[in-house]
Amino acid sequence: MLIHKALMDVNESPVYLLLNPAINLSQKDLPVTIYESELHVIDGSPQLIFVRSNYTIETVEAERISVDHVAHLKPSDGGSAATQLAAHLTGIHSAIKMLNSRVRVIHQYLVAMQKGETPVDNSLLRQVSSLVRRLPAMESQKFQDDFLMEYNDTLLMTYLAMFTNCSSTMNELVEKINASYERPAARRGGRGAFM
């Protein structure tokens, strides 16, 4: 509660998220409980208490696909899933850099054409015009807001996907440790376990 009160200086209504690390294969919901703080009068004095809150998870198809993809990445050739994800993101970064350089070349060519340094090519101008008409107006505030929202959602989904992958790896590690502790304990007649 002290940490929660300290966070209230930054955010006026933070939530308390409780993650249950126990594995229950029959459970279909996330092992997460969310609590909100409410002010109640107890014995004549106001006190903050945690009250369980219901939640629903809403996603779009692209988010489900990306989380599922990262969660099911399997290491190949000794590389980890994080290494594969880093290689994939590096490939996307390279593609964006290539696109940027090509757009820059087209821009320089159009500027040279406008200055009269190169001859006017109407066929090329029609193609560039057609391409530009397909793009949304990117200078509007709505575009900036939508872009930032989509960007933040993508970062959040990447974080959640990596968290899911890390949890899966941690679960496999705990299972291996439990299996190694159970063997010697079975020989002694007892039972030992980790976590």
pLDDT digits 0-9 by tens, 82-92: 676 777 778 78
Total number of domains constituting the chain: 3
Residue ranges for the chain with pLDDT beneath 70? 70-82, 84, 136-138, 183-195
Q: Is residue 172 assigned to a domain? A: yes
pTM of the predicted structure, to 2 decimals: 0.34
Q: Is residue 183 assigned to a domain? A: no
Based on the fold, state whether residues 63 and 109 are members of the same structural domain. yes
Q: Is residue 184 assigned to a domain? A: no
Q: Is residue 77 assigned to a domain? A: no
Based on the fold, state whether residues 5 and 35 are members of the same structural domain. yes
Cα distances from 179 to residues 84, 106, 137, 171, 189, in angstroms, run: 29, 62, 59, 12, 15
Token pair listed for 143 = 């575009």
- How would you list the strands of the sheet with 15-19, edge to edge? 15-19, 32-42, 45-53
pLDDT of residue 26: 78
Based on the fold, state whether residues 115 and 65 are members of the same structural domain. yes
Q: Is residue 19 assigned to a domain? A: yes
Q: Is residue 149 assigned to a domain? A: yes
Q: Is residue 44 assigned to a domain? A: yes
Based on the fold, state whether residues 4 and 48 are members of the same structural domain. yes
Based on the fold, state whether residues 93 and 127 are members of the same structural domain. yes
Based on the fold, state whether residues 65 and 114 are members of the same structural domain. yes
Based on the fold, state whether residues 16 and 48 are members of the same structural domain. yes
Q: Is residue 153 assigned to a domain? A: yes
Domain range for 10 is 1-53
pLDDT of residue 137: 61
Token pair listed for 62 = 């692209």
pLDDT of residue 81: 61
Based on the fold, state whether residues 131 and 64 are members of the same structural domain. yes
